A and B are shown apart, each in its own frame.
Chain A
């Protein structure tokens, strides 16, 4: 149990981290057209401001002893009912700070890039407003000191994601993709809600400090249930199987959004959630195993989908799924993996942002065409984009000394420490990564030009290429820096714990095997897509290719299992409501109406017959009286 340090000095600014971009979002969204000219720059500045504060905090934190790096700041009591209470309070520790830096620094770069990318969009101001909103919500997510406040950030990023996926609302596909993302995420939210409730019912509190302090006293069944519910939440947010279907559609959003939200930060929130709740997963073995299974399945699904898609963004999205699968797997390994999950998350955040922004830059020069079969030989047309893209490519497939080599190898190591099966699966997936990324690079930058007639590829403006260069530098050196200089294991250990198990073979054996597999993948990809002619029309392909193009039928499964039954239920209930429930109400009204219609017939209009009925009535009354009298 770590001690909470009071938030003093630079740490008293924790709330400002969130407030800055939030204020930016509020100004941009509420002040309307007045801010059109300078609004986007304000949006960039607020995030930059947060980034500066974040860096200052990191520097300050590094001065402190390892067990004194957790800071708490309480603003006010948020909800207080009966025994339940949740505070508007933040917690900054070694885990949060790396997220803060990832979000604000990558966020700043992407904001800057967007200045160029969205330069001609008439709703540019709104775009930056939404981006700022996203950054604020994401910071809230990682800074909250209790699960309920985390939930606010969790939904906030979901909202920002919804708004940004559907940013080009006039496209029905974008609007549909946005809705789909939100609704699938809601399924995950059910998991998070229930996990929070179960925590409260079990521990009487939902703050991290309280829950983790007594988690080991709870029964394993309860902890497993909480773990599985949190996993459900993570699956929704991080597009893990079986809630993965929204991520590929989410590529309808502008490319900077895909880079920031659907690659670098938001989709990794699930990993954060699991790692943050490490106490629970360490104590609930079966929940952790479920995490590994989900991670492995998604790792493979994503890689397979990424290998078949011709849409550059969707292929990258498949890759994101796959890489997050690595992180989730690592997070499921327990203390041997938590650190590496976060490590890979950081490096992935950098190089995948670079890849997405690179893809955006390519699209920018190709009239927004996303079909890689229409690319080819772009390396000379856009030198900087190609160069940075290739650096990030080397990072993701894990060529030393680039980022991915360190982080992914660590995960493969840890997997072998746990079980050879997991290790082999993770290792083979690395080979597949080599294949599909090579395919992408070869189809885009090498081979013959297959451009459409009116396309004139050109390099993007500096405001876009400079962020690319910075990200590429990060992709080249961040991994090394974190391992040799930053010592990420001991940095995160106080929060997430760290263990190492002995391996049967020397560690270079694993590294060499992985590298060999990756190179085989690269070679196959190169031969198939750089050496051979790439047809402009996609060939029919094998069963597996077709399935992968259809995203392994995830949408169809959802459709049959969920969407159709829901619509059927909905329509039947409408029928039931109209016929049965309302039918009963209107039926009883009709019954009274019909009865009165019958009785109306006795109003013949003959005064004498009314008189006769009166006389008859009088006689009856008299008769009754007489009879009563007599008895």
Chain B
């Protein structure tokens, strides 16, 4: 293993970038964008270089580990490291940032905030996103978790739409509320660890190896879960999301829903499951119920939305239901599926929001569905990308989202037959709302107001192509993703003490496979 501090470098590069951008002289807006793009591409390059050195078959729980004492009095340290799941999510974040910068090239202007301010915020956010996935100290995770709110608050509140301050405040307060409960549980966890081992610690691995009393687990679990359920967001803690999504710039929405919200589901796997295995099992029926309600609730509400961005928000809520479902059924297919689903959802959300953003930028920034019709006629390339995004969102086989969705459903089906069957019905409604949107906006006779609308330009196509390509390539060849995820999922499954149900009929000649590895 190399001793090069990969993760710290990854975090430092965008941070340095943001400082650079802020220091640029006023009026050099284009330069600020170029610096941001360059820095984010460098970060992506570094991420790829790191990912290539990741050893999927390693027995270590974390790789690229770094640790420095931070507040030794409370056992807090700056410890980072990645396992398969966090590596994949860091890669997702690093991929989406340059895409968002490129796509949002003209999103910010100097009317409310400054252009360079917007891009500096994106850079800061990238640092924090990488940090939150890389942290292996629970306190450090908490710090990143809360700090992420700040740039997003400004990105919505300064650069957003008409109701931006309402949306930003709602987002901030709702998230802070969750964070507060998590903080309480965090302190509780520290006290428990102090009681059990004599010296309190926030180190994830030490905490995960503790055998906490189930009743205490149940209490502490709630604190963490509440924060994650708001972040993810699960039904019924979702109402900040449609407002935030509708009022933010497309790029902000991509980072918010595509990456930030994944912290919620990531946290459920990493912290809820591994530190509180008994409580996770205890609460699993409740969470599964919430997820199931969310799947249908989000889909049904999306069906009647008149605003594109709100529609995407509700559809995301439905997708997060699938992800949470996969996590809490405790099967390796379900959990791997959830992680793949997180990546796929990041990509499909990005594609949807960005294409919708390009569309909106061509007509008075309106996200009202009724303002568009027949766009395919004037902007076939845009319509084509919209189609791909829509198909990726409805999990067409051959796209990576299908693999995630199918594995989640399969994992659920293995454990709870009827719940799996019920959740599968959700794919019909997903198709209904996605295609309804496409039909309303892209097909039919062209609205006269849209006459002469320009098709996508080079910059916009460049931003969308990587997403579309990843969606399809990973859908046909998901091995790079699954090979990295699977060992981590096995670790989580072991620490929860769950094993896959074996098939009712064992095949002759092959041993019944399960998690016994």
Touch A–B, Cβ below 8 Å: yes
Query: Interface on A for B, CB 8 Å cutoff?
Result: 29, 32, 76-84, 88, 148, 151-152, 154-156, 159, 162, 166, 169-172, 174-176, 178-179, 182-183, 186-187, 189-190, 193-194, 196-198, 200-205, 210, 213-214, 217-218, 222, 566-567, 569-571, 573-574, 577, 581-582, 585, 589
Let me know if B331 and A170 touch, CB within 8 A: no
Q: Does B110 contact A (CB under 8 A)?
A: no
Contacts of B174 in A (CB 8 A): 585
Task: Known contacts A77-B479, A193-B427; decide if A172 and B444 are in contact (CB<8 Å).
Answer: yes
Q: Cα distance A187–B427 when bound, in Å? A: 8
Residue of B297, B381, B444, B482 touching A175 (CB-CB under 8 A): B444
Let me know if A566 and B505 touch, CB within 8 A: no
Contacts of B41 in A (CB 8 A): none
Contacts of A83 in B (CB 8 A): 332-333, 500, 502-503, 512-514
List 9 additional contacts besides A83-B500, A213-B507; criterion CB under 8 Å: A29-B384, A84-B410, A148-B406, A170-B376, A170-B377, A178-B439, A183-B435, A197-B424, A201-B501
Q: Cα distance A238–B2 when bound, in Å? A: 58
Let me know if B420 and A176 touch, CB within 8 A: no
Let me know if B432 and A82 touch, CB within 8 A: no
For window 451-488 of chain B, which residues contact chain A by CB distance below 8 Å?
476-479, 482, 486
Contacts of B510 in A (CB 8 A): 204
Let me know if A570 and B303 touch, CB within 8 A: yes
Contacts of B73 in A (CB 8 A): none
Contacts of B297 in A (CB 8 A): 573, 577
Within the complex, the shortest CB–CB distance from A194 to chain B, in Å, comes to 6
Q: Cα distance A217–B510 when bound, in Å? A: 16
Q: Cα distance A183–B428 when bound, in Å? A: 6
Per-position contact with A for B414-447: 1 when CB-CB < 8 Å, else 0? Answer: 1001001100110111011001101100111110
Residue of A152, A171, A179, A589 touching B397 (CB-CB under 8 A): A152
Q: Cα distance A166–B387 when bound, in Å? A: 12
Closest to A219 in B: B504
Contacts of A567 in B (CB 8 A): 303-304
Contacts of A189 in B (CB 8 A): 427
Contacts of A218 in B (CB 8 A): 504-505
Q: Does B114 contact A (CB under 8 A)?
A: no
Contacts of A174 in B (CB 8 A): 443
Contacts of B398 in A (CB 8 A): 152, 155-156
For window 297-353 of chain B, which residues contact chain A by CB distance below 8 Å?
297, 300-301, 303-305, 331-333, 336-337
Within the complex, the shortest CB–CB distance from A121 to chain B, in Å, comes to 14
Let me know if A197 and B413 touch, CB within 8 A: yes
For window 233-292 of chain B, which residues contact chain A by CB distance below 8 Å?
236, 238-240
Q: Cα distance A88–B403 when bound, in Å? A: 13
Task: Known contacts A82-B333, A82-B500, A571-B304; decide if A182 and B409 are in contact (CB<8 Å).
Answer: no
Q: Does B173 contact A (CB under 8 A)?
A: yes
Within the complex, the shortest CB–CB distance from A223 to chain B, in Å, comes to 11
Q: Does B515 contact A (CB under 8 A)?
A: yes
Let me know if A201 and B413 touch, CB within 8 A: yes
Within the complex, the shortest CB–CB distance from A119 to chain B, in Å, comes to 20
Within the complex, the shortest CB–CB distance from B312 to chain A, in Å, comes to 15
Q: Cα distance A83–B444 when bound, in Å? A: 47
Q: Cα distance A78–B369 when bound, in Å? A: 38
Contacts of A179 in B (CB 8 A): 435-436, 438-439
Q: Cα distance A505–B240 when bound, in Å? A: 75
Task: Known contacts A77-B479, A190-B424, A585-B174; decide if A570 and B445 are in contact (CB<8 Å).
Answer: no
Q: Does B407 contact A (CB under 8 A)?
A: yes
Closest to B331 in A: A82
Q: Does B448 contact A (CB under 8 A)?
A: no
Q: Does B391 contact A (CB under 8 A)?
A: yes
Closest to A179 in B: B435
Let me know if B239 and A204 touch, CB within 8 A: no
Q: Does B25 contact A (CB under 8 A)?
A: no
Q: Cα distance A158–B413 when bound, in Å? A: 25
| Residues of B in contact with A, size category | 35 or more
Which applies to chain B's interface (DSSP): helix, strand, loop or mixed? Answer: helix
For window 367-394 of chain B, which residues contact chain A by CB distance below 8 Å?
374, 376-377, 381, 384, 391
Within the complex, the shortest CB–CB distance from A206 to chain B, in Å, comes to 10
Within the complex, the shortest CB–CB distance from A144 to chain B, in Å, comes to 11
Contacts of B501 in A (CB 8 A): 201
Contacts of A203 in B (CB 8 A): 503, 505, 507
Within the complex, the shortest CB–CB distance from B242 to chain A, in Å, comes to 8
Let me know if B333 and A214 touch, CB within 8 A: no
Task: Known contacts A193-B409, A201-B504, A574-B304; decide if A169 and B442 are in contact (CB<8 Å).
Answer: yes
Q: Cα distance A154–B476 when bound, in Å? A: 15
Q: Does B71 contact A (CB under 8 A)?
A: no
Let me know if B505 and A217 touch, CB within 8 A: yes
Contacts of A204 in B (CB 8 A): 502-503, 505-507, 510, 512-513
Q: Does B508 contact A (CB under 8 A)?
A: yes
Identify 19 residue pairs between A and B in the complex whose beta-carbon atoms are under 8 Å apart, listed by A's number: A29-B384, A76-B477, A77-B479, A79-B478, A81-B407, A83-B512, A152-B398, A159-B391, A174-B443, A176-B439, A182-B431, A194-B420, A200-B414, A201-B501, A202-B503, A204-B506, A210-B507, A214-B508, A566-B300
Q: Cα distance A202–B506 when bound, in Å? A: 8
Within the complex, the shortest CB–CB distance from B508 to chain A, in Å, comes to 7
Residue of A82, A170, A197, A214 touching B374 (CB-CB under 8 A): A170
Q: Does B46 contact A (CB under 8 A)?
A: no
Q: Cα distance A197–B417 when bound, in Å? A: 9
Let me know if B505 and A214 touch, CB within 8 A: yes
Closest to B235 in A: A581
Contacts of A80 in B (CB 8 A): 479, 482, 486
Contacts of A222 in B (CB 8 A): 504
Q: Cα distance A134–B502 when bound, in Å? A: 37
Within the complex, the shortest CB–CB distance from B471 to chain A, in Å, comes to 14
Contacts of A566 in B (CB 8 A): 300, 303, 429, 432
Let me know if B304 and A172 touch, CB within 8 A: no
Residue of B336, B417, B432 touching A81 (CB-CB under 8 A): B336
Let me know if A197 and B409 touch, CB within 8 A: yes
Q: Does B16 contact A (CB under 8 A)?
A: no
Residue of A82, A151, A213, A571 touching B515 (CB-CB under 8 A): A82
Let me know if B301 and A170 touch, CB within 8 A: no
Let me know if B443 and A194 touch, CB within 8 A: no
Q: Cα distance A156–B476 when bound, in Å? A: 13
Within the complex, the shortest CB–CB distance from B124 to chain A, in Å, comes to 28
Within the complex, the shortest CB–CB distance from B395 to chain A, in Å, comes to 9
Q: Does B50 contact A (CB under 8 A)?
A: no
Contacts of A79 in B (CB 8 A): 403, 407, 478, 482
Q: Cα distance A182–B276 when bound, in Å? A: 43
Task: Known contacts A203-B505, A570-B300, A573-B297; decide if A186 and B410 are in contact (CB<8 Å).
Answer: no
Within the complex, the shortest CB–CB distance from A2 to chain B, in Å, comes to 16
Q: Cα distance A348–B391 when bound, in Å? A: 32
Closest to A88 in B: B476
Q: Does B396 contact A (CB under 8 A)?
A: yes
Task: Known contacts A172-B445, A570-B301; decide if A182 and B435 are in contact (CB<8 Å).
Answer: yes
Q: Cα distance A244–B99 when bound, in Å? A: 43
Contacts of A166 in B (CB 8 A): 443
Residue of A148, A194, A210, A582 touching B424 (CB-CB under 8 A): A194
Q: Which of A79, A200, A204 has the most CB of B within 10 A?
A: A79
Contacts of B403 in A (CB 8 A): 79
Let me know if B478 and A78 touch, CB within 8 A: yes
Task: Known contacts A81-B486, A155-B396, A170-B377; decide if A183 and B431 are in contact (CB<8 Å).
Answer: yes
Within the complex, the shortest CB–CB distance from B327 to chain A, in Å, comes to 14
Q: Cα distance A468–B355 when bound, in Å? A: 43
Let me know if B431 and A169 touch, CB within 8 A: no
Let me know if A170 and B446 touch, CB within 8 A: yes
Q: Cα distance A194–B417 when bound, in Å? A: 10
Within the complex, the shortest CB–CB distance from B464 to chain A, in Å, comes to 12
Q: Cα distance A165–B173 when bound, in Å? A: 48
Contacts of A76 in B (CB 8 A): 477, 479
Let me know if A577 and B301 touch, CB within 8 A: yes
Contacts of A200 in B (CB 8 A): 410, 414, 503
